[in-house]
Copies of this chain bind each other. A is one copy, B any other.
Amino acid sequence: MEKFEDLGFSKVDYDREKRQGFPEVIYGEGKSIEQIHLIMSKLIEKHGRVMVTRVDKEKGQLLIEAFPLSKYDSVSSILLYGEPKQQFAGEIMVLCAGTSDLFVAEEAAITAEWMGCKVNRLYDVGVAGIDRLLAYRDQITTASVLIVVAGMEGALPSVVGGLVQRPVIAVPTSVGYGAHLQGLTPLLAMLSSCASGMSVVNIDNGFGAAYQATLILKLASEGVNNEITIS
Protein backbone atom coordinates (compact mmCIF):
# COMPACT_ATOMS: atom_id res chain seq x y z
CA MET A 1 0.00 0.00 0.00
CA GLU A 2 1.20 3.48 -0.80
CA LYS A 3 2.25 5.35 2.32
CA PHE A 4 0.62 8.62 1.34
CA GLU A 5 -1.45 10.09 -1.47
CA ASP A 6 -0.68 13.43 -3.02
CA LEU A 7 -3.79 15.61 -3.47
CA GLY A 8 -1.65 18.58 -4.47
CA PHE A 9 -2.68 20.82 -1.58
CA SER A 10 -2.27 17.88 0.82
CA LYS A 11 -0.38 14.60 1.11
CA VAL A 12 -2.78 12.28 2.98
CA ASP A 13 -0.78 10.12 5.39
CA TYR A 14 -2.12 6.51 5.10
CA ASP A 15 0.94 5.18 6.90
CA ARG A 16 0.17 7.00 10.12
CA GLU A 17 -1.94 4.27 11.72
CA LYS A 18 0.87 1.77 11.35
CA ARG A 19 3.56 4.26 12.34
CA GLN A 20 1.80 6.13 15.10
CA GLY A 21 -1.02 3.86 16.21
CA PHE A 22 -3.93 5.96 14.99
CA PRO A 23 -5.07 7.19 11.56
CA GLU A 24 -4.57 10.84 10.62
CA VAL A 25 -6.92 13.30 12.32
CA ILE A 26 -7.98 16.37 10.31
CA TYR A 27 -7.38 19.79 11.84
CA GLY A 28 -10.34 21.70 10.41
CA GLU A 29 -9.30 25.29 11.03
CA GLY A 30 -7.98 27.09 7.96
CA LYS A 31 -9.12 24.36 5.59
CA SER A 32 -11.92 24.92 3.10
CA ILE A 33 -15.03 22.72 3.14
CA GLU A 34 -13.86 21.21 -0.15
CA GLN A 35 -10.46 20.33 1.27
CA ILE A 36 -11.96 18.73 4.39
CA HIS A 37 -14.49 16.84 2.29
CA LEU A 38 -11.84 15.35 0.03
CA ILE A 39 -9.47 14.34 2.84
CA MET A 40 -12.39 12.86 4.83
CA SER A 41 -13.45 10.75 1.85
CA LYS A 42 -9.93 9.42 1.40
CA LEU A 43 -9.51 8.58 5.07
CA ILE A 44 -12.94 6.94 5.37
CA GLU A 45 -12.08 4.86 2.32
CA LYS A 46 -8.82 3.66 3.89
CA HIS A 47 -9.70 3.43 7.57
CA GLY A 48 -13.50 3.39 7.76
CA ARG A 49 -13.43 6.20 10.32
CA VAL A 50 -12.23 9.75 10.74
CA MET A 51 -12.21 12.61 13.24
CA VAL A 52 -12.14 16.32 12.35
CA THR A 53 -11.36 18.95 15.02
CA ARG A 54 -11.99 22.70 15.08
CA VAL A 55 -15.03 22.55 12.81
CA ASP A 56 -17.26 25.57 13.24
CA LYS A 57 -21.04 25.19 13.25
CA GLU A 58 -21.53 26.22 9.66
CA LYS A 59 -18.97 23.77 8.31
CA GLY A 60 -20.29 21.14 10.72
CA GLN A 61 -23.77 21.43 9.24
CA LEU A 62 -22.47 21.12 5.69
CA LEU A 63 -20.30 18.11 6.52
CA ILE A 64 -23.14 16.28 8.28
CA GLU A 65 -25.20 16.75 5.13
CA ALA A 66 -22.36 15.35 3.05
CA PHE A 67 -21.62 12.50 5.47
CA PRO A 68 -24.98 11.55 7.04
CA LEU A 69 -23.33 8.92 9.23
CA SER A 70 -21.14 11.49 10.92
CA LYS A 71 -21.94 13.25 14.21
CA TYR A 72 -21.11 16.84 15.15
CA ASP A 73 -20.63 18.14 18.70
CA SER A 74 -21.01 21.91 18.93
CA VAL A 75 -19.36 22.36 22.35
CA SER A 76 -16.08 20.75 21.31
CA SER A 77 -16.44 21.60 17.59
CA ILE A 78 -15.57 18.01 16.72
CA LEU A 79 -16.99 15.97 13.82
CA LEU A 80 -16.85 12.18 14.19
CA TYR A 81 -17.32 9.41 11.67
CA GLY A 82 -17.11 5.75 12.73
CA GLU A 83 -16.38 4.08 16.05
CA PRO A 84 -13.27 3.22 18.10
CA LYS A 85 -11.57 0.04 16.87
CA GLN A 86 -10.23 -0.87 20.29
CA GLN A 87 -10.97 -0.13 23.93
CA PHE A 88 -8.11 0.52 26.33
CA ALA A 89 -8.08 -0.49 29.98
CA GLY A 90 -7.85 2.29 32.60
CA GLU A 91 -9.63 5.59 32.87
CA ILE A 92 -8.79 9.14 31.89
CA MET A 93 -10.16 11.82 34.19
CA VAL A 94 -10.80 15.21 32.58
CA LEU A 95 -11.02 18.04 35.10
CA CYS A 96 -11.74 21.68 34.35
CA ALA A 97 -11.55 24.77 36.53
CA GLY A 98 -14.55 26.73 35.31
CA THR A 99 -17.68 26.61 33.21
CA SER A 100 -16.05 28.66 30.47
CA ASP A 101 -13.31 26.06 29.96
CA LEU A 102 -15.86 23.46 28.82
CA PHE A 103 -15.10 23.72 25.12
CA VAL A 104 -11.52 22.61 25.73
CA ALA A 105 -12.40 19.95 28.29
CA GLU A 106 -14.93 18.44 25.90
CA GLU A 107 -12.41 18.48 23.03
CA ALA A 108 -10.19 16.36 25.29
CA ALA A 109 -12.95 14.09 26.53
CA ILE A 110 -14.51 13.35 23.14
CA THR A 111 -11.12 12.80 21.52
CA ALA A 112 -10.11 10.30 24.20
CA GLU A 113 -13.42 8.46 23.96
CA TRP A 114 -13.19 8.26 20.19
CA MET A 115 -9.65 6.90 20.46
CA GLY A 116 -10.89 4.10 22.75
CA CYS A 117 -10.61 5.36 26.32
CA LYS A 118 -13.07 5.49 29.18
CA VAL A 119 -13.43 9.10 30.38
CA ASN A 120 -14.56 10.47 33.74
CA ARG A 121 -15.52 14.18 33.69
CA LEU A 122 -15.09 16.46 36.74
CA TYR A 123 -15.97 20.05 35.83
CA ASP A 124 -16.00 23.46 37.61
CA VAL A 125 -13.60 22.56 40.41
CA GLY A 126 -11.34 25.66 40.37
CA VAL A 127 -8.87 26.12 43.22
CA ALA A 128 -10.60 29.18 44.71
CA GLY A 129 -13.18 26.73 46.11
CA ILE A 130 -10.81 23.95 47.08
CA ASP A 131 -13.49 21.99 48.99
CA ARG A 132 -15.34 21.22 45.76
CA LEU A 133 -12.21 19.61 44.35
CA LEU A 134 -11.33 17.70 47.50
CA ALA A 135 -14.86 16.29 47.70
CA TYR A 136 -13.81 14.12 44.75
CA ARG A 137 -10.38 13.12 46.07
CA ASP A 138 -11.07 9.40 45.85
CA GLN A 139 -12.04 9.51 42.21
CA ILE A 140 -9.03 11.70 41.45
CA THR A 141 -6.49 9.38 43.04
CA THR A 142 -7.80 6.30 41.25
CA ALA A 143 -7.73 7.71 37.71
CA SER A 144 -5.03 6.29 35.42
CA VAL A 145 -4.15 9.56 33.67
CA LEU A 146 -5.46 13.06 34.43
CA ILE A 147 -6.08 15.88 31.97
CA VAL A 148 -6.45 19.15 33.84
CA VAL A 149 -7.92 22.10 31.94
CA ALA A 150 -7.75 25.62 33.35
CA GLY A 151 -7.85 29.24 32.20
CA MET A 152 -7.38 32.29 34.42
CA GLU A 153 -4.26 31.72 36.59
CA GLY A 154 -4.02 28.03 35.66
CA ALA A 155 -3.47 26.79 39.22
CA LEU A 156 -5.62 23.67 39.16
CA PRO A 157 -3.03 21.26 37.67
CA SER A 158 -0.54 22.07 40.44
CA VAL A 159 -3.04 21.10 43.14
CA VAL A 160 -4.15 17.96 41.30
CA GLY A 161 -0.54 17.05 40.52
CA GLY A 162 0.19 17.01 44.24
CA LEU A 163 -2.63 14.58 45.02
CA VAL A 164 -1.84 11.71 42.66
CA GLN A 165 0.85 9.29 41.53
CA ARG A 166 -0.34 9.21 37.93
CA PRO A 167 0.70 11.37 34.95
CA VAL A 168 -1.00 14.78 34.77
CA ILE A 169 -1.32 16.60 31.46
CA ALA A 170 -2.14 20.28 31.90
CA VAL A 171 -4.09 22.28 29.30
CA PRO A 172 -4.19 26.07 29.61
CA THR A 173 -7.17 27.80 28.04
CA SER A 174 -7.69 31.14 26.37
CA VAL A 175 -10.43 31.98 28.90
CA GLY A 176 -9.57 35.15 30.82
CA TYR A 177 -8.73 38.81 30.17
CA GLY A 178 -6.07 41.45 30.75
CA ALA A 179 -3.00 39.99 32.46
CA HIS A 180 -4.17 36.57 31.30
CA LEU A 181 -2.75 37.37 27.85
CA GLN A 182 -5.07 35.04 25.87
CA GLY A 183 -3.84 32.03 27.77
CA LEU A 184 -0.11 32.73 27.82
CA THR A 185 -0.24 33.36 31.56
CA PRO A 186 -1.73 29.99 32.58
CA LEU A 187 0.52 28.30 30.00
CA LEU A 188 3.65 29.76 31.57
CA ALA A 189 2.30 29.20 35.08
CA MET A 190 1.67 25.51 34.38
CA LEU A 191 5.18 25.15 32.98
CA SER A 192 6.54 26.77 36.17
CA SER A 193 4.52 24.49 38.42
CA CYS A 194 6.14 23.01 41.49
CA ALA A 195 4.12 19.80 41.11
CA SER A 196 6.00 16.74 39.86
CA GLY A 197 4.88 14.40 37.11
CA MET A 198 3.12 17.03 35.07
CA SER A 199 3.58 18.21 31.49
CA VAL A 200 1.82 20.81 29.39
CA VAL A 201 0.32 21.18 25.92
CA ASN A 202 -0.56 24.27 23.87
CA ILE A 203 -3.33 26.70 24.83
CA ASP A 204 -6.80 25.18 24.20
CA ASN A 205 -5.18 22.00 22.88
CA GLY A 206 -7.57 19.50 24.46
CA PHE A 207 -6.99 17.24 21.47
CA GLY A 208 -3.24 17.02 22.07
CA ALA A 209 -3.69 16.23 25.75
CA ALA A 210 -6.18 13.46 24.97
CA TYR A 211 -3.89 12.05 22.30
CA GLN A 212 -0.98 11.71 24.70
CA ALA A 213 -3.20 10.37 27.48
CA THR A 214 -4.46 7.71 25.09
CA LEU A 215 -0.90 6.76 24.09
CA ILE A 216 -0.18 6.22 27.78
CA LEU A 217 -3.17 3.89 28.21
CA LYS A 218 -2.23 2.15 24.97
CA LEU A 219 1.30 1.55 26.27
CA ALA A 220 -0.11 0.23 29.55
CA SER A 221 -2.59 -1.99 27.68
CA GLU A 222 0.03 -3.42 25.37
CA GLY A 223 2.54 -4.00 28.16
CA VAL A 224 6.08 -2.76 28.18
CA ASN A 225 8.48 -5.05 26.39
CA ASN A 226 7.94 -8.18 28.44
CA GLU A 227 10.41 -7.07 31.04
CA ILE A 228 9.99 -8.11 34.64
CA THR A 229 9.17 -5.63 37.36
CA ILE A 230 11.10 -5.99 40.59
CA SER A 231 9.63 -4.20 43.55
Contacts and interface: CB of A to CB of B under 8 A. Distances in A.
11 contacts: A3-B135, A9-B99, A88-B224, A89-B223, A98-B194, A126-B194, A167-B212, A179-B202, A180-B192, A196-B211, A197-B212
Interface string A93-135: 0000111101000000000000000100001111111111011
User: How many identical subunits does the complex contain?
Assistant: 8
Contacts of A118: 227
B11 A152 contact: no
A200 interface: yes
Instruction: Pick the most buried of A88, A168, A194, A229: most chain B CB atoms within 10 A of its CB.
Output: A194
Interface in A178-231: 178-205, 208-209, 211-212, 215-221, 223-231
B169 A180 contact: no
A30 B13 CA distance: 37
Contacts of A127: 127, 155, 158-159, 162, 194-195
In the A-B complex, list the 6 residue pairs whose CB atoms are closest, starting with the nearest.
Answer: A178-B203, A90-B224, A155-B155, A21-B165, A128-B162, A199-B199
A166 interface: yes
A8 interface: yes
B9 A155 contact: no
A25 interface: yes
A194 B86 contact: no
A31 interface: yes
A145 interface: yes
B198 A212 contact: yes
Contacts of A35: 99
Contacts of A193: 128, 152-153, 155
B153 A196 contact: no
